[in-house]
Amino acid sequence: MKFDIIQTTPLYNALSEVGKKIYLPEGIFYWAGRAKKEAELIGTLGSAYGFEKDFIEGGNSDWLPCYLKEIANYSQFSVKEIIPYTSIGGLNEIRKVWKDWIIKKSLYGEEDESLLSRLTKYITMPVITGGVTNGIFQGCVMFLNQNDYIIMPNKRWGNYDNIINKFIRAKTRTFEFFNNSEMNINGIETAINEVAKIQDKVVILLNFPNNPTGYVPKKEEASNLIKMLKESQRTLEKPIIVLIDDAYEPYIYNNTVINKSIFYDLHQLDENIIPIKLDGITKELLIYGGRIGFITLGLKPSWVENEEELEKLKDEINNKLEGFIRATISNCNSFYQVVVNKLFQENSMEQIIKSRDKVKKLLKERYESINFELKKIKDPDISIDPNSGGFFVFVNLNPDKIKATVFADHLLNKYKVGIIPVEKLDENINGIRIAYCSIDLSKIPELVKRIDLALNDF
């Protein structure tokens, strides 16, 4: 592969050294592919195959991947489905289904014809990653060299730091997430301007609904964010990569906030604000242990002259992403890919959403209850971060009065309530994350009551 087209795009300039260098050598796949089509005798396939009767007592004459008889009954799927490798980028059927799912999630209807058409045409075919984490890992490695800066809110998933600081040894330029209970867009803007002074690209990592706060931007906040990004990109003339961690995407419980990923609006911009969607079945389809995620890039019409170039560009990006998967995990597990495939084959998207809505309803009730109960606490030393979705709420504690870890220890010892304290004073964080996703509605008032009692002890 020549990577002719990608090299002409602003995407290429933003790639890290790994991103520039990685690709999937096609030799072995080229020959195996040709053999499949042209050969009578195939000696390319590196998995053991045989006639079932030759390795299973009572087996039949099917030519199958050799398997141990003991595991045949562990699933409803055939050994042909759960034993072999899937292709590197994932089962093609699921990749297509997930692209349709992304389009569905856009909520664009016929009245948004031009939006829908750009979305359908200019996003890449999702590549399957080993869970959302692996997608975030891939996104970060593809765009960050050692010592490069990435912009993130101070309140973020702790694992970002493992990936970015410890693994890549890149640097974080964090911004205070909130300013008067609204997203601190000025803070992001300042960070962008600073980073753009020392780098030829700006990389931002955002996550709505946010972990640990449950924050989702109000419609106006989102449109201000987008406006700011648009203007910044025009002024700075450097590509802005926005990695969008959409792990909690569907769990939004409030009508005043945006009801879909910011991926969609960013993708519609003509400016070189390049959104990369990182989502997966983990929370979205409630299959945590499945380790199936997706990485999808939003491309810009201005990058290509015609359809042919667009298809080439997609192939080149796909090759790089598959090269990354090949070098790190080879491919993703078969069982859960088949699960997703059957799920979408056997049910309409509406039916899947309907099933999930039962869980969403449960979570929404808990969300309402915990916010209601927390608001009752009249204590000037605490504040609750704005939250409208996801699995968590975050309660800030006054660091001059109560250190979060001390509070957590006391709450656990005296009141038998377990929460996660986050105490990162250098980033102005001192508070507790409450995972209401795993607390029954009936227990929430008691839980908050005990937190209130614990607060009174300080």
Residues within window 258-297 making contact with its own copies, judged by CB under 8 A: 283, 285-291
222 vs 417, beta carbon nearer its own copies: 417
Q: Does 328 bind its own copies (CB under 8 A)?
A: yes
231-260: contacts with its own copies (CB under 8 A): none
Tokens coding 82? 């759960």
In total, the chain counts a number of residues equal to 458
Kindly state the number of chain residues that form the binding site for its own copies, as judged by CB under 8 A: 123
What is the C-alpha to C-alpha distance for residues 82 and 340, in angstroms, rounded to an integer? 13
Residue 204 Cβ vs its own copies, minimum distance, rounded to whole Å: 20
Among residues 1, 3, 8, 50, which is the contact residue for its own copies, using CB under 8 A?
50
Of the candidates 29, 40, 84, 79, the one whose C-alpha atom is nearest the C-alpha of residue 56 is 79
Contacting residue, 198, 362, 406, 453, with its own copies by CB under 8 A: 362
Least distance from C-beta 438 to its own copies, angstroms? 4
Rg (CA), the chain: 24
Please state whether the peptide bond connecting residue 212 to the residue before it is cis, i.e. omega within 30 degrees of 0. yes
Cα–Cα nearest to 293, from 259, 266, 321, 258: 321
163 touches its own copies by CB under 8 A: yes
CB of 22 or CB of 273, closer to its own copies: 22
Give the one residue of 107, 113, 167, 406 binding its own copies; rule: CB under 8 A: 167
By the 8 A CB rule, do 417 and 447 touch?
yes
Among 62, 113, 305, 440, interactor with its own copies by CB under 8 A: 440
Contact 134, 107 (CB under 8 A): no
Figure out which of the listed residues 89, 126, 130, 187 binds its own copies, where binding follows CB under 8 A. Answer: 130
Q: Is the dihedral of CA 216, 222, 226, 232 positive or negative?
A: negative
How far apart CA 6 and CA 304 sit, in angstroms, is: 9
147 binds its own copies (CB under 8 A): no
Q: Judged by CB under 8 A, does residue 377 bind its own copies?
A: no
Nearest of 252, 209, 279 to residue 360 by alpha carbon: 252
Q: Which of residues 408-427 bind its own copies (CB under 8 A)?
A: 408, 412-413, 416-422
Interface residue with its own copies among 124, 134, 261, 388 (CB under 8 A) is 134
Binding-residue pattern over the window 191 to 220 for its own copies, x denoting contact by CB under 8 A: --------------------x---------
State whether residue 150 is helix, strand or coil: strand
Report the distance separating Cα 26 and Cα 83, nearest Å. Answer: 24
Nearer to its own copies, 238 or 366 (CB): 366
Q: Which stretch binds its own copies (CB under 8 A): 99-107, 109-117, 255-263, 428-436?
A: 428-436
Q: Note the Cα 304 to chain centre separation in Å.
A: 27
Nearest to its own copies of 286, 425 (CB atom)? 286
Q: Are strands 382-384 and 392-397 parallel, antiparallel or unpaired?
A: antiparallel
CB of 267 to its own copies, least distance (A): 27
Distances (CA, A) of 399 to 136, 271, 383, 453, 458: 31, 41, 12, 18, 12
- The secondary element (H helix, E strand) that includes residue 318 is helix 307-328
Residues 51-70 that bind its own copies (CB under 8 A): 51, 54-56, 63, 65-70
* 42 lies in the binding site for its own copies (CB under 8 A): yes
For the bound state, the minimum distance from the C-beta of residue 264 to its own copies, rounded and expressed in Å, comes to 24
CA dist 75 to 64, 82, 339, 352, 441, Å?
A: 17, 8, 10, 21, 34
State the maximum Cα–Cα separation within the chain, in Å, rounded to a whole number.
79
| Among residues 107, 198, 327, 349, the one that binds its own copies under rule CB under 8 A | 327
The one among 115, 228, 269, 343 contacting its own copies by CB under 8 A: 343
Interface of this chain with its own copies, residues 66 to 125, rule: CB under 8 A: 66-71, 73-77, 82-86
**Span of 119-127, 186-194, 221-229, 429-437 interacting with its own copies by CB under 8 A:** 429-437
